[in-house]
Amino acid sequence: MARRAKRQGPDNHERWMVSYADFITLLFAFFVVMYGISSVNEGKYQDFSVSMSQVFGQNGMAAEDGAIRLTEDEMYFKALVDKRNARLAEKQRKQNERLQNLSRRLTDKLAGFVNKGAMSVSQSERGVTLDINASLLFLPGDAALQAAAVATLKEVAQILVNEALPVEVEGYTDDLPISTVQFPSNWELSSARASSVVRLFIEQGIGADRLKAIGHADNAPLASNDTAEGRARNRRVTVTVLAAPPEAATSTGAD
């Protein structure tokens, strides 16, 4: 009997998907590496180095020339890290100098109030903060700026107007309750006082998009509210010029 011819299986028209999937995987890995470079730190660099060593070393693939290529890759990525860290450090140094200069200018301009203890200027990682006793700005239970306060805040605005950094104005009260038609509680009073300062700054040319008014009521006191002196310290307005995070400075600044 004649042998039957073997049936040929149907052609697999989807074999190309295997190669395509490999290509997509490699492309994905490439973008992951590039993303990692954009926000790399020393810890991530070490992790990446170990992972690369494991990948190139498996199944006897760590040939001598492969080891040389890996070393070159490590040197390349380390160079990128070092360059980026140096750029961040330089931007941070320039910002610190800028904030120190701003702190000195505010202290010099407001020296009379600072010496009396009615104002204070301080610098921290958050930025430069001007702390103003509320008695210099407002009458008790009121949020309208007094005439003398307007003149002082205009001098502050003249210094801040040329700064590009954001400014937060925060109002604080003591814990004595208030209940009026205009201010049902200390929340409304502290917010209104912060807003009064913000409005004056806007009138003096500071961009509204740079400003934020925040009311804290009697939260975050500086002293005990059990004494008149402590309550007087707690009634205050703070103006903080916020430092830009290093990452933000890098993305918005020119290299």
The first and second tokens of residue 135, run together, are: 């008695």
Q: Which residues contact 175 (CB under 8 A, 6 or more apart)?
A: 186, 218, 221, 225, 231, 234
* Residue-wise DSSP of 119-173: EEEEEETTEEEEEEEGGGT--TT--SPPHHHHHHHHHHHHHHTT--S-EEEEEE-
> pLDDT band at residue 21, thresholds of 50, 70 and 90?
confident
pLDDT for 102 beyond 80:
yes
Residues above pLDDT 70, as percent of the chain: 71
**Full domain range(s) for residue 161:** 97-252
Model pTM score: 0.64
Same domain, 69 and 144: no
For residue 1, being part of any structural domain is answered with no
**Selection from 204, 137, 130 nearest residue 168 by Cα:** 130
Structure confidence at residue 245 (pLDDT): 73
236 and 132 in one domain? yes
Has residue 2 been placed in a domain?
Answer: no
Q: Which residues pair with 81 in a beta bridge?
A: none
Query: Which of 2-6, 11-15, 106-110, 151-155 is the least confident region?
Result: 2-6
> Are 85 and 191 members of one domain?
no
* Residues forming beta bridges with residue 241, ordered by sequence position: 128, 167
Of the three residues 89, 115, 140, the one that is the final residue of a domain is: 89
Q: What pLDDT sits at residue 39? A: 56
111 and 183 fall within a common domain: yes
Which pLDDT value is given to residue 15?
65
- Residue 4: predicted pLDDT: 57
For the stretch 215-232, pLDDT in tens is: 999 999 999 999 999 999
Mean pLDDT value across residues 123-151: 94
- The alpha-helical segments, DSSP class H, found in 168-234 are 186-203, 228-234
3-state secondary structure of 56: helix
Please tell me whether residues 84 and 192 are part of one structural domain: no
Boundary-marking domain end, from 89, 111, 137? 89
Q: What is the pLDDT of residue 109?
A: 92
Q: How many domains does the chain have?
A: 2
Examine the domain organization and report whether 198 and 219 are in the same domain: yes
The reply to whether 112 and 143 lie within a common domain is: yes
CA distance 138 to 193: 8
**How confident is residue 20, by pLDDT bands cut at 50, 70 and 90?**
confident
Give the end of a domain, one of 31, 54, 89. Answer: 89
Using one digit for the tens of pLDDT, what is the confidence trace for 172-200? 999 999 999 999 999 999 999 999 999 99
Question: At residue 214, does pLDDT exceed 80?
Answer: yes
Q: What integer pLDDT is reported at residue 83 of this predicted model?
A: 72
| Residue closest to 192 by CA, chosen among 173, 215, 175 | 215
74 and 106 together in one domain: no
Residue at 4 is within a domain: no
Buried b (16+ CB within 10 A) or exposed e, 75-99: eebeeebeebeeeeeebbeebeebb
Helix axis angle for 42-57 and 16-38, nearest 10°, is 150
pLDDT at 138 over 50: yes
Domain containing residue 144: CATH number: 3.30.1330.60
pLDDT at 202: 97
What integer pLDDT is reported at residue 96 of this predicted model? 85
| pLDDT, mean over the chain | 81
